[in-house]
């Protein structure tokens, strides 16, 4: 149980275009989803916390107008990278919580974004 | 603020060797502690967890004990296999004060040679 599906797994786009990444909880309802970014051989950097039906909470230094997050239902959150640039190339990972408090997060398999 | 520090990698071991990956943390309150594993090109998978002091998490031969007195949560395995080659992340979650966010260590790459 507790499967998180992330789509697409890989995407290549041209500079200036926008890319949408979907994160779905397949067998549970996720009131909270988190979006992380991972640079090569580095740890995960939390970008934002996505709450169903409300605005996302962004971490310091993350541009909310560039990384648009929508959590429209209890099973789906989307991250849209707007006007992508090569420096946005990275591995993006979403995660979802099954319960509140200190329960573990379940992660998607990540999306490798390459901006040319 | 809360933080997690792991031993630097890469760690290279021969098959059947004993593994220890050190993890220490700084936190207020009573965090839960986790180990996640990331195989190449994939997301993270929960390996084990412990929610209070002296708890031992275990899974697939891996173990870690929540030591409040030393603020540590070291990962151990008695006999590693080639298939254990991956990056291991120690993490903490202070659900009440941090909104349930996970704070990760920098990751430790493990390479097991046959």
Q: How many CB atoms lie within 10 A of CB A39?
A: 11
HSE, side-chain direction, 13 A CA sphere, residue B62: 22
Q: Is the pLDDT of residue B100 over 80?
A: no
**Chain B residues 57-86 within an 8 A CB cutoff of chain A:** none
Instruction: Give the tens place of pLDDT for each residue, A39-70.
Output: 877 788 899 998 888 889 999 999 999 999 99
Q: Is the pLDDT of residue B7 over 70?
A: yes
Average pLDDT rounded to a whole number, residues A9-16: 96
Our CA-based measurement puts residue B53 at a distance from the nearest CA of chain A, in whole angstroms, of 14
Select the more confidently predicted residue: B18 or B29. B18
Report d(CA B94, CA B60) in Å as an integer. 26
């Amino acid at each position: 149980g507790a499967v998180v599906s992330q789509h697409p797994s890989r995407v290549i786009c041209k500079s200036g275009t926008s890319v949408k990444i979907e994160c779905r909880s397949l067998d549970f309802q996720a009131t909270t989803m988190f979006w992380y970014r991972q640079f090569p051989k580095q740890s995960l950097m939390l970008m934002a916390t996505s709450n169903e039906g409300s605005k996302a909470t962004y971490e310091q230094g993350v541009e909310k107008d560039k990384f648009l997050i929508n959590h429209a239902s209890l099973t789906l959150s989307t991250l849209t990278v707007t006007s992508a640039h090569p420096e946005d190339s990275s591995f993006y990972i979403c995660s979802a919580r099954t319960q509140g408090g200190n329960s573990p997060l379940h992660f998607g398999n990540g999306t490798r974004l390459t901006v040319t | 603020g809360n933080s997690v520090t792991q031993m630097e990698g890469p760690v290279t071991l021969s098959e059947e060797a004993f593994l220890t990956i050190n993890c220490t943390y700084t936190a207020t309150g009573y965090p839960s502690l986790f180990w996640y594993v990331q195989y190449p090109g994939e997301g993270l998978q929960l390996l084990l967890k412990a929610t209070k002091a002296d708890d031992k998490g275990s899974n697939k031969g891996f173990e870690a004990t929540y030591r409040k007195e030393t603020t540590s949560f070291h990962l151990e395995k008695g006999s590693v296999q080639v298939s254990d080659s991956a990056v291991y992340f120690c993490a903490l979650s202070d659900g009440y004060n941090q909104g349930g966010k996970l704070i990760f260590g920098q990751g430790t790459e493990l390479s097991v040679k046959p």
